[in-house]
Amino acid sequence: MKRDLLPALRKELENSFGRKILSSRDCLQMVDDIYQKTGTTVNANTLRRFFGLVKTNYSASPSTITILSKYCGFNSIDEIETITHGTSVEDAINKEDVLHFLVSIYKSVNVPEGQHAFMDPLVQQTVTFLERNPALIEKFQREVAKTATGQHYYYETNVNMDRLNDYYGQGLRHYLRAKNTDEAQVFVLSLQVFRYWLTGEQSKLDLKLAALQSSAISHNYSPRILGRLIAARIFAADSHQEPIDKVLVEASRYHVSNTAARSVGHGQNADFELAIAEALILTGQVDEGKEYIRRGKAALNARNGVPANPFTFWEQVIPAGKEQSLKKFEIPKKSQLPPSYNYYLHKRYHNLVMLALNSSSQKQHEQLESLVRETGYIRFLRLAAIKKKRVASKDTSEQKRTI
């Protein structure tokens, strides 16, 4: 084993985990994540030593290095050399041939909507390949946007929240050019409103919102896209500090239509409710968000063969009571990390949510700032500041009552 590859392995581990490893708690969480993704385990103390959190004269064993490499998607650490140093890759494969093969899969397969068990792993491997070969991203996104399968699964179903302000967000122009419909325009504009809400770019948000308001809307659009539309309007209202009563009335009308569609076998997911619940929770409308989680779970429970609950993550970041604010997210000390929907596309995004609600230590705040720099989602710094202010105000009130 080449010891000079260990720094590269640490970087790959943090990329796979979704944030930097700065504390013992991070190591405990990574232990759980490694087990969930590989079925094998490593000792938390081993990870502490590997990331330099504790001083040691011992190196990780070859078996531990192999487990860590597999967690990152490699068979061994030696494979990382082709990624970091570029040695022998061109001799082994031609990346353009791999790209052509990847696009040809999307062109040739016709996967019915809802068959995520087949397509999600394909999209995951696609994203992994693109992340390691950034020079090919633009060409791939342009070509896959011309395929019906790519439009549906790469762009619409698997929204890449980690890269919405990066290459995925830029690639939406290829999707819209290839799928030149009113529905596609509503989808793209809705995501762009969400993007600029996250990045705090108000003028760009208003520009996209104006275009969205002038777009043609139909109840016959996909529930997934109608959910994004309602979510965009919630984010826009929040950015202008406006009430959302009318938006929720419209959402209820769409929900009735979706329920009717499900009763006759259409609308085979709860993406409508998921997008709205996410927007409501992020903007502090917790009770309303819980109601849409309830509605979405009810829709899923009405069918057989439902996959894992996509609402679990958001259920764990909202308060159990009626308090109209996001609760302090208790990051578990061991076992049972909250499952995340589209985990491989939301790792950084979901870490931002958790850290914004629980950046109580200096190291956690450093992690938050690092992820904000990487994604551009400054909204989470504002959410963290609001949370800190609320906690301080609550503590002051309790002290006054005590006195």
Domain residue limits, the chain: 3-92, 93-158, 181-325, 342-403
- Give the residue among 265, 201, 203, 257 at the shortest CA–CA distance from 229: 257
Q: What angle do CA 284, 285, 290 make, to 5 degrees?
A: 120
- Give the residue among 175, 182, 167 at the shortest CA–CA distance from 137: 167
- Give the residue among 190, 204, 172 at the shortest CA–CA distance from 247: 190
Residue-level pLDDT at 328: 44
Q: What is the DSSP code string of 162-221?
A: GGTTTHHHHHHHHHHHHS-SHHHHHHHHHHHHHHHHHHT-HHHHHHHHHHHHTS---TTS
Q: Which residues of the chain have pLDDT under 50?
A: 87-92, 264-267, 306, 320-339
Q: Is 126 within 8 Å of 168 (Cβ atoms)?
A: no
Residue-level pLDDT at 86: 52
Question: Is residue 293 classed exposed, middle or buried when 0-12, 13-18 and 19+ CB atoms within 10 A define those classes?
Answer: buried
Residue-level pLDDT at 334: 39
Question: CA-to-CA distance for 352 and 367, rounded, in angstroms?
Answer: 9
Number of residues in the chain = 403
Residue-level pLDDT at 88: 46
Residue-level pLDDT at 18: 85
Residue-level pLDDT at 25: 87
Residue-level pLDDT at 82: 64
Whole-Å CA distances, 337 to 79, 213, 297, 334, 387: 29, 39, 20, 8, 22
Residue-level pLDDT at 15: 86
Residue-level pLDDT at 90: 46
Give residues with Cβ within 8 angstroms of 213, minimum separation 6: none
Please count the other Cβ atoms lying within 10 Å of the Cβ belonging to residue 174. Answer: 20
Question: CA-to-CA distance for 138 and 171, rounded, in angstroms?
Answer: 7
Phi then psi dihedrals of residue 89, to 5 deg: -65, -45
Q: Is 209 within 8 Å of 232 (Cβ atoms)?
A: yes
Residue-level pLDDT at 167: 97
- Give the residue among 174, 97, 172 at the shortest CA–CA distance from 136: 97
Phi then psi dihedrals of residue 337, to 5 deg: -60, 145
Q: Is 337 within 8 Å of 36 (Cβ atoms)?
A: yes
Question: Is residue 384 classed exposed, middle or buried when 0-12, 13-18 and 19+ CB atoms within 10 A define those classes?
Answer: buried
Residue-level pLDDT at 266: 45
